[in-house]
Amino acid sequence: MAALKVAIPKERRAHERRVAATPETVKKMAGLGLAVAVESGAGVAASYPDDAYRAAGATVGDAASTLAGANIVLKVQRPLEQGEGANELASLPRGTILIGLLDPLMNQAQVGAYAQAGITSFAMELVPRITRAQTMDALSSQSNLAGYKAVLDATEYFGKAMPLMMTAAGTIAPARVFVLGAGVAGLQAIATAKRLGAIVTATDVRRAAAEQVESLGAVFIAPPDLNDAEAKGGYAKELDKDAQARQAAVVAEHLKKQDIAIATALIPGRKAPVLITADMIAGMKPGSVIIDLAVEQGGNVALSKPGEVVEVNGVKIVGHRNVPSRIAVDASALYARNLLAFVQPLIEKGGALKINWDDEIVKGALLTRDGAVVNERLKPAA
């Protein structure tokens, strides 16, 4: 029996430099008995050349030969559809298993297209946050790097040094960094800013976040009567109107004294909440920098624009797209390991496909099967 074929196509969405497999994971997939095909140039933007994939045991070819007869297709981002450029969805063989960061809650119509195309699809964003699935948690692996890069991006636009410096010419005060949202990205931003010597504060709508923030040496900022807004899986949920007003008042006052603000708050399947309003920006010091990590999901910052650096009254608002892709080498390495951890339980000894459709992880991530949308979170809109 021919070995199962795993295809790694080149990512074609704008601003995407990551790749879904590295030579390390290709070698491990080959060790499982899988035949791995990589599209030529797929890893070049992440510094993984074609020859490295060949040395790891993959075949390297053009897009058509890579996808021909593929049983499993691993991707970073969801495939392009008709009208978006190259129609990647149409090039996937019927019956293929598609696994990637498919953003299904924000792109439900495309999930229906997977079903119509006869594709079995899994979204890495929907892998349950359980102990057994920690190695598959792609949201965390990518958010962690985004939080780190956000601080480095802030230093690029900030006209001062970050740490306290004692010099013969005088003392340089440490920068004040305020992190809004203490999830994975926020906590890494706190840790990175602390390592650079900044005075760091942070806020979040979840009570549990206070202890995590303080464990990293930062000060937690919140109204004294903060209501807990933690949803299932540890994610934040939206505050009620009164709580939003109290939180906003605290944030507005605190921002007046800050040099850098890093906004990281996301609500799965929803537009990002606005945490920094135009009025708050008007109250900030000239030379301050705001990084909006949520800019592609509507933005945490009122005046941010995807892919642009906007300056308002001397305050720079940075809205870089796809921040994990800006650290493509490590982002690809971590994401490829997440995918490998997800795929391994689906393969039995000898390289045959064996999926336990009742497994909690499989059920959580599964979007479409047998021509239908089957995920409970998507069924009503399908």
Q: Can you give the CATH number for the domain in which 219 is found?
A: 3.40.50.720
Active site residue 129: yes
Query: Which pair of tokens denotes residue 22?
Result: 């590295």
* 132 and 212, same domain (yes or no): no
Residue 380's pLDDT is 54
Residues paired with 317 in a beta bridge = 290, 310
Residues paired with 219 in a beta bridge = 201
* 178 and 295, same domain (yes or no): yes
Active site residue 65: no
* 118 and 162, same domain (yes or no): no
Judge whether 376 lies within some domain: no
- Counted domains in the chain: 2
Name the residue type at position 201.
Answer: T
Residue 82's pLDDT is 79
Q: Please give the order of strands across the beta sheet that includes 97-101.
A: 59-61, 35-39, 5-8, 72-77, 97-101, 120-123, 366-369, 372-373
Residue 230's pLDDT is 52
Q: What angle do CA 72, 74, 79 make, to 5 degrees?
A: 105
Judge whether 130 lies within some domain: yes
Catalytic member of 108, 110, 121, 140? 140
Catalytic member of 47, 82, 116, 134? 134
Residue 382's pLDDT is 39
Residue 1's pLDDT is 60
**CA–CA separation, 278 vs 255, rounded Å?**
12
Residue 246's pLDDT is 87
Residue 281's pLDDT is 98
Summarised one tens digit per residue, pLDDT across range 111-136 is: 999 999 999 999 999 999 999 999 99
Residue 341's pLDDT is 98
**CA–CA separation, 73 vs 242, rounded Å?**
47
Catalytic member of 235, 246, 321, 330? 235
Summarised one tens digit per residue, pLDDT across range 300-352 is: 999 999 999 999 999 999 999 999 999 999 999 999 999 999 999 999 988 88
* 304 and 186, same domain (yes or no): yes
Residue 203's pLDDT is 95
Low-confidence ranges of the chain (pLDDT < 70): 1, 226-240, 380-382
Residue 235's pLDDT is 52
Catalytic member of 103, 137, 153, 204? 137
Residue 381's pLDDT is 46
Judge whether 273 lies within some domain: yes
Catalytic member of 13, 129, 195, 246? 129
* 119 and 45, same domain (yes or no): yes
**CA–CA separation, 334 vs 142, rounded Å?**
8
* 253 and 154, same domain (yes or no): yes
Active site residue 134: yes
Angle at which helix 138-157 crosses helix 184-195, to 10 degrees, equals 40
Summarised one tens digit per residue, pLDDT across range 251-284 is: 999 999 999 999 999 988 889 999 999 999 999 9
**CA–CA separation, 211 vs 105, rounded Å?**
30
Judge whether 43 lies within some domain: yes
- The one-character DSSP state at 313 is T
* 148 and 115, same domain (yes or no): no
* 194 and 313, same domain (yes or no): yes
* CB distance 74 to 138 below 8 Å: no
Number of neighbours of residue 343 by Cβ within 10 angstroms? 23
**CA–CA separation, 39 vs 24, rounded Å?**
16
* 167 and 273, same domain (yes or no): yes
Residue 350's pLDDT is 80
Parent domain of 341: 5-137+328-370
* 121 and 163, same domain (yes or no): no
* 236 and 364, same domain (yes or no): no
* 188 and 215, same domain (yes or no): yes
Active site residue 157: no
Q: Report how far apart, in Å, the C-alpha atoms of 338 and of each of 127, 218, 332 are.
A: 10, 30, 10
